[in-house]
Amino acid sequence: MMGLPLEVTYHADLIAMMRLFKDTFGVIVGQTPPLSVECIYTIKRDVSPNVDCNKSADKLKKRITHYFQQAQSDFTFINGTGLWKQVQPFGAREK
């Protein structure tokens, strides 16, 4: 068993939705189509991702693979400033 059980880590409603999605997804398509999961990992400072960041990303990749064996996962590490810039509307004016 990897880490904590789902019941400890996630809210019961979220667990139910994840199971419903997984069960329904397989029934609708008959077989699992390609699935890609993109994660944006926010780091606190203007630094490069460190060992702890990479450990957390690896744990999440394992969890994704546990539920969706064929899934491809991509991680982008970004700091607060970069995330703020990314969510701003295109062409927003600066004051």
Give pLDDT tens digits for 14-73: 888 888 888 887 666 666 677 898 888 887 777 777 788 889 889 999 998 888 888 899
Domain boundaries defined on the chain: 1-33, 34-90
> DSSP letter string over 60-87?
HHHHHHHH-TT-EEEEEEEEHHHHHHHH
Give the span between the Cα atoms of 72 and 68, in whole angstroms. Answer: 9
Q: Give the pLDDT of residue 95.
A: 55
Residues in the chain: 95
Angle made by CA atoms 35, 55, 41, in degrees to the nearest 5 = 60
pTM of the model: 0.51
76 bridge partner residues: 40
Higher pLDDT: 80 or 93? It is 80
Q: Give the pLDDT of residue 1.
A: 45
Q: Give the pLDDT of residue 8.
A: 61
Q: Give the pLDDT of residue 30.
A: 61
CATH class of this structure's domain 34-90: alpha beta
In this structure, are residues 76 and 82 in contact, taking their beta carbons and an 8 Å threshold? no
